[in-house]
Structure 1
Amino acid sequence: MTAAAASVHASAVKVGDHAVLIRGPSGAGKSRLAFDLILAGRAGQIPPAVLVGDDRVHLATRGGEMWVSPAPALAGLLEIRGLGIRACDFVSEAPIGLIVDLMADDAERLPPPDALRWNENGIELPRIPVGKGYAPLPLVVAALTTTKSS
């Protein structure tokens, strides 16, 4: 990672070759979605999935991609509500391939194309805005396993 890596309140899971970056306010379900993705990977619903980081991660741009790594003090730790902080396998970094925004104000039933993209510093990534009270896992699995229709 670069020395200028920014620390953000988010979780990330590497699914296949790219990470899903999960953002949202405290209590939105970032850790829960991270664990659900790991379980979906174990069940074969999506490619194998492993934790990058939970609660706080570092972002950096490298080679025209946005990369995510765990905060060193939290590496390999995942909060599981009802059980507490648990140790689990993790990877030290991954390029981000999808951003999920939980409790997003711009979530819609049929979102406009610009709501499904994130752009910053010349990097564009697919984005899923998830509304409050809506289960994010089916949306993420659909994004990872289907293609857009015309």
Structure 2
Amino acid sequence: MQLTCVAIGGRGLLIAGAPGNGKSSLALALIDRGAVLVGDDGVMTEAKGGRLIVAAHPNTAGKLEVRNLGLMDFPVSPPVPAAMIIRLDALAPRFIEQAQASDIEGISLPLVALWPESPVLALRAELALSRYGLTFS
């Protein structure tokens, strides 16, 4: 599964979805709101100390695909612990009682599916992170 990741307040927000479903566009919108790019469509992950650490892949560090413009350069976050996964899904439920869970490298992360066509997708992603994301001390 290819993942895009941005850092928000020192926490990694992983973005999953089918190719062309808007992962990079959501990352760009979050960067516009103050997030920092970790990696686009392919990050390195490592389970360490009970956390999933996410880092830019050295071959694509600082590159974000901006549809219709191509690959563009952005500042890159240092490695961050993953706090949750947003899955872009046209069939995302309208309401949820709690986040689902998804394991990556044996680390369980909260997962929230969001409708990718939302005009306020970045805001919804930030709200999901605030409500369901793991916190680190």
TM-score by length of 1: 0.77
1:40 maps to 2:24: no
Larger Rg computed on CA atoms = 1
What residue is the counterpart of 1:94 in the other structure? 80
| 1:130 aligns to 2:130 (yes or no) | no
Question: What is the root-mean-square deviation of aligned Cα atoms in Å?
Answer: 2.0
What amino acid is the match of 2:114?
A: V
- 3-state SS, counterpart of residue 59 of structure 2: helix
Flag as ranges the 4+ runs of structure 1 deviating above 2 A: 119-126, 131-136, 143-147
C-alpha separation in 1, matches of 2:76 and 2:27: 12
Structure 1 residue 125: deviation in Å?
Answer: 2.4
Q: Which residue of 2 aligns with 1:80?
A: 66
Identity value in percent? 35
Q: How many residues align?
A: 130
Task: Report the Cα distance in structure 2 between the residues aligned to 1:143 and 1:102, rounded to whole angstroms.
Answer: 13
Structure 2 length-normalised TM: 0.83
* Structure 2 residues not aligned, in runs of 5+: 133-137
103 and 119 in structure 1: CA distance in 2 versus 1, 3 angstrom threshold: closer
Q: CA deviation at 1:82?
A: 1.9
Structure 1 segments unaligned to the other structure (5+ residues): 1-7, 42-48
Residue 103, structure 1, aligned to residue 89, structure 2: yes
Counterpart code for 1:99: I
Confirm or deny: 8 A CA contact 1:76 1:89 kept in the other structure: yes
CA-CA distance at 1:146 after TM superposition: 5.5
Q: Which amino acid aligns with 1:17?
A: G
Q: Is the 8 A contact 1:76 1:88 kept in 2?
A: yes
Residue 140 (structure 1) aligned with residue 133 (structure 2)? no
Is 2:15 the counterpart of 1:15? no
Is the 8 Å Cα contact of residues 4 and 15 (structure 2) preserved in structure 1? yes
CA distance in 1, matches of 2:110, 2:131: 13
Deviates more, 1:128-137 or 1:67-76: 128-137
1:26 is matched with which residue: 19, 24, 27?
19
Contact 2:22 2:116 in 1 (8 A): no
Distance 2:14 2:107 in 1: 14
